[in-house]
Structure 1
Amino acid sequence: MFKQGNLFKTLPNARNHEVFEDLIKHPFVRIERIVSRGQTSPETGWYDQEESEWVVVLQGNAELTFENGESVSLEAGDHLNIPAHTKHKVSWTDPERETVWLAVFYPSGEIE
């Protein structure tokens, strides 16, 4: 079976809250579209995931901050691999337009 869609058509309204949508779910990989508009992670706490995450910003701008104090700014086309249990949070997303992310979650371990 084919599962077809368009990542930019019919974007959900993200003015009030970030929107997460699973595009593919498999025991070994999950692909998720995230739409943000000015949202950030809560002040306290960190994402601390069992799986590794590869993320790309397809549209808009964002910033991720890591527990070690490092920050990474992302704009359209920028991608980043986040190993499992690397504590991080979304510290900024563009409040003037949607930021569209594609996140690929996969089992932790060495990558090439």
Structure 2
Amino acid sequence: MGNILADLPQCLPNECFEDIVTAGHVRIERIISKGHTTAEGDWYDQEEHEWVMVVRGRARILFEEGREVTLAEGDYINIPAHQRHRVSWTDPEAETIWLAVFYR
């Protein structure tokens, strides 16, 4: 048992990635951002599909083809495997807490 909003780091010099569950072809991860973005020119190009939800905070995801999606608390998106994307913005004033489910 746990709480996705508990034990948040006080200092976030880097984005924080924490596995919650790993089983078979599924991995569930908590991500904590505060003003973090994907490095300019870098793109996620994952072998797995990714369903991701913003539990708290706000963020934007940019897709390689130019579409940008803004996510607020409770918003989620499913990103198919190999759809190149990057985090283009997270709120610099407050933590953005993501719940990501990676699956095959």
Q: TM-score, normalised by structure 2?
A: 0.97
What are the ranges of 5 or more consecutive residues in structure 1 without an aligned counterpart? Answer: 108-112
Q: Offset of 1:26 from its aligned partner? A: 1.1
- Tell me if structure 2 keeps the 8 A contact 1:14–1:35: no
Larger radius of gyration: 1
1:13-57 per-position Cα deviation (integer Å, ceiling 9, x unaligned): 353110000000112100000000000000012100000000000
Q: 1:73 aligns with which of 70, 73, 92?
A: 70
Query: Quick check: 1:14–1:36 contact (8 Å CA) kept in 2?
Result: no
Which contiguous aligned blocks of 4+ residues in structure 1 show a shift greater than 4 angstroms? none
Number of positions where the alignment pairs a residue of Structure 1 with one of Structure 2 = 104
- Distance change (3 Å), C-alpha of 1:73 and 1:54: same
Structure 2, gaps ≥5 residues long: none
Please report the RMSD computed on the Cα atoms of aligned residues, expressed in angstroms: 0.8
Equivalent residue number for residue 56 of structure 1: 53
Where does 1:1-112 land on structure 2 (aligned, <5 Å)?
4-13=1-10, 15-107=12-104
Q: Secondary structure at the match of 1:104?
A: strand
Question: What is the aligned-residue identity percentage?
Answer: 56
